[in-house]
Amino acid sequence: MTDAEAKPAAASHVDVTHLVMPSDANMLGTAFGGMVMQWTDLAASMAAMRHARLPVVTASIDQLSFLAPIRIGQMAILSAQVNAVFGTSMEVGVEVVSEDPRTGERRKCCDAFLTFVGLGPDGRPTRVAPLALATDAERRRDREARARRAARLSLRDALRAP
Ligand SMILES: CC(C)(COP(=O)(O)OP(=O)(O)OC[C@H]1O[C@@H](n2cnc3c(N)ncnc32)[C@H](O)[C@@H]1OP(=O)(O)O)[C@@H](O)C(=O)NCCC(=O)NCCS
């Protein structure tokens, strides 16, 4: 893969909006954590596929903290973008905010980092196009993603150990 084939990080950007319905919610009238996780995984996978132009699988999801609930009738807005490409894998960052449709007030609900692996026609991991970083924010996200990758692979090795 040459640098000429690198793709802009911004080209992977995906925005997804859900209106939180009663079927998405718990008995408190706020979105289930598992539902927000599903929306997060889906938004992130679309950013990964948009970059790689390959089928992808989720290899890992870093720790998730839910900072604020999203109530029935509010919108959950997810923004996902590839932060870094390693070899066959890439890290995608997702930010989830709530929006009250009546007032427009927005609150940050959660940040997540997910790793996806691109799969070739044989179903095996295959190299993903490099990422072209255009802004200071993109370069910072790439740097931070590389530090997180080291921690995540140590954890994977510990989990694999007999
Ligand atoms: C993820 C998976 C494809 C890795 O396959 P593997 O045979 O272990 O392949 P490798 O060890 O060569 O790893 C492939 C890439 O995944 C990365 N990877 C593997 N496990 C990882 C983890 N837990 N966290 C982060 N990255 C991981 C490796 O670092 C490597 O990336 P690189 O090429 O950029 O260095 C395989 O474990 C798998 O299919 N897991 C199940 C995925 C799944 O079902 N997800 C949920 C539904 S989508």
Ligand 1: which residues within 6 Å by Cβ?
57-60, 86-89, 115, 117, 125, 152-153, 156
Residue type, 143: R
Closest atom of ligand 1 relative to the 149 alpha carbon: 25
Note whether residue 63 is domain-resident: yes
Q: CATH number for the domain including 117?
A: 3.10.129.10
Residue 114 phi/psi, 5-degree rounding, is -125, 145
Could you tell me the two tokens for 145?
A: 């993603």
- Position 3 pLDDT exceeds 80: no
Note whether residue 153 is domain-resident: yes
Residue nearest (by alpha carbon) to ligand 1 atom 35: 87
Note whether residue 1 is domain-resident: no
Note whether residue 2 is domain-resident: no
The residue range of the domain holding 68 is 8-160
Task: Choose one of 41, 61, 85, 89 to mutate for the ligand 1 pocket test, by most ligand atoms within 8 angstroms of C-beta.
Answer: 89
pLDDT at 162: 81
pLDDT at 1: 47
Instruction: Yes or no: say if 18 and 42 are a contact pair by the CB < 8 Å rule.
Output: no
Could you tell me the two tokens for 110?
A: 């959660």
pLDDT in tens, 63-109: 888 999 999 999 999 999 999 999 999 999 999 999 999 999 999 99
Note whether residue 94 is domain-resident: yes
Note whether residue 40 is domain-resident: yes
Note whether residue 3 is domain-resident: no
Number of domains in the chain: 1
Note whether residue 156 is domain-resident: yes
Using DSSP's 3-state secondary structure scheme, residue 136 falls into helix
